[in-house]
Structure 1
Amino acid sequence: MLREGFDADSINVRIQELADLIRYEVYHDPNLWTNSEDFETELEAIVDFVEKRAAYVNTQLNKYARKTDLQLNDLMTVNHGTIADEMGDHDPWVEIYNLGPGLVNTGGLFLTDDSGVPNKWELPVQNLDDGEFILLWLDGEHGQGAYHAPFSLNSGGGDLYLYLNDGSGYVLVDSISYPELDAGVSFGRFPDGKGLWHVLSEVVTPASSNQFNNIPKNLFINEFMANNDESVAGPYNDYPDWIELYNGGTEAVDLGGMYLTDDVEKPTKWPFPSGTVIQAGGYLVVWADGIPDRGLLHTSFRLSASGEAVGLFAADGETEIDSIVFEAQLDDVSYGRLPDGTSNWTHLTPTPGSQNMADGSINVPTGPVDKIPEGLVINEFMASNRITIAGPDGTNPDWIEIYNGGNESVNLGDMYLTDNLGNPTKWRFPDGTIIEAGGFLLIWADDASNSSGLHCSFALNANGEEIGLFASDGTTLIDSIVYTKQLRDVSYGRVPDGADNWEHLLSPTPGWGNTKKPPYEAESSLPMILILVGAVGLVTILFVAITKYSEKRG
């Protein structure tokens, strides 16, 4: 908590950000019970409280600090210009990190490359606070100073040990067997002090926090089978569950250290073995048989045929790369993306390790729809989004907002969105897509269904067309709207939410409740003037906007 912003400077920045949102209202509220000047005084009091509290907590945590909190964190064997020592030399180095919770003195700690000689080099004595680093030069040039070891790291790979002399002997605190490294490449933990070791080539960070940016953008859980009775035989001639990954990128991906799980709340259930590589455009099958002793690609869990989840997580054990929540599965029928890597999931004739085929798609009848969710409507959309809201990729795509006016959450998985009522099943919501009671859901209509998340397979036509929301049977219409030509950066929505009345909204509210008037009228005068004035000169527009703004504030 102390590392992540519980200090006076960080809190003051955040307080001022929040205060700026309400300061005008505080100073102009005629019903305020206190003096508006007290507002700033109270803000200062909060900062003062945090400063004193942080100092007290730091003092208490220091009582629990131990020398064993120090961990080997990063090293470089071939330093070609990355960082120079005080002599100007680019020598090998190692970084040690204080995992916390408090201040540690490095006295009595030793580094060695030989476990038989634990006291080969005693670390220079200094205090290292929680979350701090110490950089040491393992260059074999001890005469250059206290931070230079009498031995050097081996460019071909080797071992490094950190020992503590506790008075009765030498106790191993940490160790690492490091590989041969290219020039300018380090080998470090991510996250700092407790994560797995990785080759860090993109960003090298001596004496500062490690960065591991190897999170592939086009790596997918592409197909799986959770009820494999006699369809796909495994390497032991039985029929285990299996999961297929697909690399839709242009480069090979090293999966070593990443994780697969059947419970997204426990992302580190099974780690990929070191050196597991999936080629560009390639597939990898993992046997979910719950028997990891069978070999490298056998997970520690099995899939549930009655429904659960599959998650793929990055090596930090926190960042989700891809996941799928699925319902009960059919015997010997797989469930996969079609085409590969897109957001469209369907039942398939199994193709483990190869491309999912359209002619292998299996139409699983859902039966008649027993009940259409009450209050589920298309609530707002924008068919000409130029500057209003940016999508996840930084562009400005069309968008559609769904509103759940009912009293219960609704699972949209297997329902459909379309821009052609004659083709109801144009885009299917991913499994596990939930919209809470009274909630809103935003879908990007960018014709990019191969992107992860809620990106449908069509874009909206600003000259007019139709939008339809269909039930899971692909025929029952839940809601629709037929619209005419749309204005640029103006949405069209129900006012109030869920009502039959549709109006153009000068202040769009994607993901929020619709309103004819924006919550801050003064700040919305500029887009209103831009729409009404059109091509008038910029100076005139700004003059009118400022005048309107002043009138509203006055």
Structure 2
Amino acid sequence: MRVLCAAVLLCAGGICRGADDPAFALKINEIMAWNRNYLFPGPPGSSTLQTPDLVEIYNPTNDVVLLYNLYLTDGDPAAAATNFWRFPPGAWIAGRGYYTVLCDGAVVTGEARASFRLEEKGEAVYLLARDKLTVIDAITFGCQTPNVSLARLPDGGDTLAKTASPTFCWGGACTCDGYDADGDGAPDRQWCAANERANIADDIYPPEVDIESYAPLMPAADAPVTVTARVACADTPADKIELWFRYQGDAEPQPAILMQDDGAHGDGAAGDGLWAGTIPAQGERGVEFRVIAYRGAAVDIEPDTQWIAYMSGRTAVPPLVITEILPKNLANLANSNGDFGDWVELYNASTADIALDGYYLTDNYRRPHKWAFPLGLVLGAGARRLVWCDEDEAAPGVEELHAAFQINGDHEEIFLADRGGLFNGFFFSDEIEDVSIGLVGDRGPLARFLKPTPGAANQSGPAPVIASLAPLVAVPGAATQFVATGDGLDAVTAVLVGGAETAFVLGGQGELRFTAPPCTADTSVSVIAAAGEICDRALYSCRAAAEAVFVRGDANIDGVINISDAVTILGHLFSGRIVPNCHDRLDINDDGKINVADPIALLAYLFTLGTPPAPPFPNPGIDPTPDELEPCPPSGS
């Protein structure tokens, strides 16, 4: 045995790579990149079980192999910034044995916890020799499914397959014990003993489906509601997806609506994984819905607990209003913990007290009941209340509201809901630090405020609106002349560029002209036009312009302008399915912004003879108004 160990110490993980070095026979045997349910101990000091990503190494030889000189990484081994994780001192793997690494991003000396997490949308994971360049084994994987592992079948073999029966063990915790499906506090032993580690073929797992959108959000009595749902992984398609709805208060649903992925039902292109179904107009009544995706005998229900509620034909709107929010609170107001969290101001616009039982605040319109107001809370007539959106709690002894979510000032939404569904709120994007958004005079329109007024009435007065800014790209290192057009600009009293006040003149037809100082390359610069404290903002980018040819409106680059392009824009805005480049294709009205106005304009053009997309359209061309949006690749690239 001493001779064996000496050979292992000299060669394992080294570059000798002889036929007698068993280290180079090791295999990445199984991975799980989307673990929702299988519980493992947290890092030292943690009292809760966690759901880390998992990587299993298998030794197909009969020799013991020391792992200490080996590395794991999910980055390119040749890249300078790659995160290499070294196996802990003394780590070894027996012949025909297994070694599991918890990929939870924690760094704990002596524990098999990798300093990275796996990407559920797909990437590669490498097992490397001690030079961090020699690849012993690697697995490149695509989109993964929750609680389903990707395993070699048989162990150490060349065939990779998804399996619903993962076989990872770490310490005393094993996925083969199952997870706590019945909620009794103990794992449920399902299909193997803890010492049975061989990979198992199990193809009975559901597709992963997510509701991508529903519209309109607050429908009129005679308006149908179209629901779209997307299957996450192309290699785990759904056999069918059903849209179920019921009337609020009813236990039994109405007959299921078969959703379609044929390109003819508002579902994008045929076979693209986006499904759509339409709930008929329901008059004045509460409705709630969910979708069920089928793959053989396995199903995925979305959402799996609460149904999504909306009120059709709502006539009595609660008097509770979101009057102001600060999505990027840098130094405006601190909470009881001394933190500058983002906040939302609520206002009771009625002359009677409002009991907030049964009211909700959400940053996701598809989850209207995301955060419930505490029971027994009353908002007096004409009173205001701040909600801190910071996933925190108030300091001891302080009565302060803290929602269980954070606001994303770059792209987000905020809505109020009751048990019937959404009734008040708005979308926002590209916000500026310590500039709030709210209702002018607490009634509207929606505007921005240089000086937020948490707990007090919003200012009244003219609200300037910047409809366009030209140019939208400035050359680095040179002063640039700009022209802004819009509404109410004749009331502007100050213009701020990058936070610094800049001289301006009012031109004809409400134009606002100013010269911006030289800018720094590859930055985005804000322009604020203020009438007193009420303002609007625009952005321009500082970069060398690149000429590129594209067709505005062809969001999915299939050469055809149709409803699937509007769905692509909605997915980019609200479902995290970001279009990677050439965002000018999505900017239908060429205002330099991507927002809900763009899919609405495209749908109006397609179905109601509305205004066509701005040039270049319908033929390919160059953007006549360069902007700060992600540029299209230059022609020929």
Q: Same fold (TM over 0.5)?
A: no
Rg bigger for which structure?
Answer: 1
**TM-score w.r.t. length of structure 2:** 0.27
Q: Which has the higher strand share?
A: 2
TM-score (norm 1): 0.30
Return the structure number with greater helix share.
1
